[in-house]
Amino acid sequence: MKNVSDIIIHLGAGLGASAALYQELGYKQLVLVDVSLELANLLSKKFAFKQNIYIKNIAVSAQEEQIEFNHYSNPRYNSQLTLDPGFIENSNLQLREQKWIPTLSLAQLTSEFQLTADQNNTLIIELNGYEGQFLTALPLAQLNLFKTIIVNLQATARYINQTNETALNAAFGMKGYKLATTESNQFTYKKDELLSAISQTQAQQAELIDQLQGERETLAQENRILQENLQRMTEERDEQAQWNKKHKEWAETLQEQIATLKSNYTEGERSQNLALKLQAKAQVDLDNLRQQYQQKLHNEQKLIELIKELQLKLKAAASYYHQLQIQHPEFNTEPSASNYQEPTQNNLSSSANTIDAKVINSPQQQARSKNASKKRK
């Protein structure tokens, strides 16, 4: 019984020249892909009455990206690669345009048609010399969706850096596929379960290595960040320790200043109390001096009054004595009354001042004055 393919995907279907191959392989669904709108339209006309055939006018690459694509006067030669100038000249071709176009990844295409690894799927690749580069860049998980891969290589060297049989075998050998048949320039590769397992293991190992390398770099970066944070925190700690030391010194200085101020305050309070006591004593001494002065003034006034009274009495005595001399001449042998000098007001004031000076300059009064002066200071 024929092993019919579940889904055949043909990249670079062109004019549909592989129709006989499709019939030989058998299929449940056929997906024909070509980047040329002109060729895609021709494919649609050619397979218009066929069921389960899908035409996609899109460029497919290993990853979704923008690619630089060459459009020639004959669309069957369109490719990502550049045709050899000699071949262009001999084939009378022209490069119409060279532009960047968007692509659909093979993963998106297989997801659209829901391919799975347990199906018998076939991939046909015909990319005008770019087959090897496409296969090398294709993830192994995408290749594993196909049990058979058929590659149609160019019969002659037409493109610069186009894929050859050696490069093709090397690319498939790395992916776990082995060459099954070769017919003209058509190479059929079958999935070797052992090689596929080895390749898958190697791919997983490489992925694990990349993951570990990424984790290592992440850990190294985190370690650098931690080291930087540790260094910064250490610097902050040292700076904080310095500030704490300075604050401690300031606190100790303030404590000393406070103690000094308290001592000065206590001394000042004692001095103030002593000054108040001295002031009170000085006030008492001053009051005593005032009383003594008032008493002195009172005594002086009494003395002046006594002197005045004595003056009057002396005047009366002098007058009486003069009369006696007149009445009794025999008394003239006595000192003449003319030698007597009558006390005047100036003489009386001078005598009073002399008495005051003697009182003020007495030892007792000088001692009281010195004590009062010290209390005021």
CATH number at 11 reads: 3.40.50
Give the pairing type, strands 27-33 and 5-11. parallel
- Residue 215 within any structural domain of the chain: no
- Residue 228 within any structural domain of the chain: no
Measuring CA to CA, which residue among 79, 71, 119 is closest to residue 99? 71
Decide if 39 contacts 128 (C-beta within 8 A): no
Task: Tell me, yes or no, whether 32 and 179 share the same domain.
Answer: yes
What does the chain come to in residues? 377
Domain extent for 136: 5-191
- Output the six-digit token pair for 197: 């397992």
- Residue 269 within any structural domain of the chain: no
Task: Tell me, yes or no, whether 24 and 165 share the same domain.
Answer: yes
Task: Tell me, yes or no, whether 283 and 170 share the same domain.
Answer: no
Q: Considering 191, 207, 241, which residue would you say is the last residue of a domain?
A: 191
Give CA angle at 137 (135, 142), nearest 5°: 70
Task: Tell me, yes or no, whether 161 and 14 share the same domain.
Answer: yes
The residues facing 95 across adjacent strands are 72
Domain count across the chain: 2
- Residue 169 within any structural domain of the chain: yes
Q: Please give the Cα distance from 365 to 241 (Å, whole number).
A: 71
Q: Taking the CB of residue 282, how many other CB atoms lie within 10 A of it?
A: 19
Q: Considering 191, 225, 246, which residue would you say is the last residue of a domain?
A: 191
φ and ψ of 17, to 5 deg: -70, -15
The overall pTM is greater than 0.85: no
- Name 125's Cβ contacts closer than 8 Å, sequence gap at least 6: 11, 12, 131, 134, 135, 149, 150, 151, 152
Task: Tell me, yes or no, whether 27 and 155 share the same domain.
Answer: yes
Q: Considering 191, 220, 252, which residue would you say is the last residue of a domain?
A: 191
Task: Tell me, yes or no, whether 186 and 290 share the same domain.
Answer: no
- Residue 71 within any structural domain of the chain: yes
Local structure of 125: helix, strand or coil: strand
Decide if 107 contacts 134 (C-beta within 8 A): no
Task: Tell me, yes or no, whether 180 and 310 share the same domain.
Answer: no
- Residue 222 within any structural domain of the chain: no
Task: Tell me, yes or no, whether 42 and 185 share the same domain.
Answer: yes
Measuring CA to CA, which residue among 277, 275, 352 is closest to residue 311? 352
Question: pLDDT tens string for the chain (377 positions)?
Answer: 567 889 999 999 988 888 888 888 899 999 999 999 999 999 999 998 888 999 999 999 999 999 999 999 998 899 999 999 988 888 889 999 999 999 999 999 999 999 999 999 999 999 998 998 998 899 988 989 999 999 998 777 789 988 888 888 888 877 888 888 888 888 998 887 665 556 567 666 777 888 888 888 889 988 989 999 999 999 999 989 989 988 989 899 999 899 989 888 888 888 888 888 898 988 998 988 989 999 999 999 999 999 999 999 999 998 988 888 888 887 665 555 455 455 555 555 555 555 555 545 555 556 666 665 655 55
Task: Tell me, yes or no, whether 17 and 113 share the same domain.
Answer: yes
- Output the six-digit token pair for 257: 């200043």
Task: Tell me, yes or no, whether 172 and 282 share the same domain.
Answer: no
The secondary structure element, H or E, covering residue 60 is: strand 60-61
- Residue 249 within any structural domain of the chain: no
Decide if 60 contacts 37 (C-beta within 8 A): no
- Residue 356 within any structural domain of the chain: yes
